[in-house]
Amino acid sequence: MIKLSKTLNAWQTPDFDVVLKTEIDSLDPAALPLQQGLSQSSYVSGEKFSVMIINVSDKDGFIRVKTGIFYSGVIAGCNCADDPSPVDEQTEYCEVEFAIDMATAETMVKLLQE
């Protein structure tokens, strides 16, 4: 389970956005639903991702943060010697909601479908 404790501690302070982005940036990309959010490629590359905060609200004991995540994906070929398709990274984007429990900082992450 993801815990965004520093983000919870920064809630309703001027540093909230910076702390949130820093904590999300430090997460392992495998902990996020990036693979499910692919639209241009078939696998998430190992490259770093970038987070954009779209909306923040608090309701029912949760801080809900809607984010846009930019990351890279690759179209995997067969890796044969005569495979003419080069390994090429594609820019991907998906929207993800982080629901931070205001009592425990435990955070649920879900992909938002358009």
Ranges of each domain in the chain: 2-112
Segment 4-17 mean pLDDT: 97
CB 75 within 8 A of CB 41: yes
Residue positions counted in the chain: 114
Whole-structure pTM over 0.85, yes or no?
A: yes
Segment 16-34 mean pLDDT: 94
Q: What is the model's pLDDT at position 83?
A: 60
Q: How many CA atoms lie within 13 A of 96 on its CB side?
A: 27
Which whole-number Å values give the CA distances from 49 to 21, 53, 89, in the listed order? 11, 13, 13
User: Tens of pLDDT along 27-84?
Assistant: 999 899 999 999 988 888 877 899 999 999 999 999 999 999 999 998 876 566 666 6
H helix runs in 1-111, sequence order: 5-9, 16-25
Which whole-number Å values give the CA distances from 26 to 22, 31, 91, 94, in the listed order? 6, 11, 20, 18
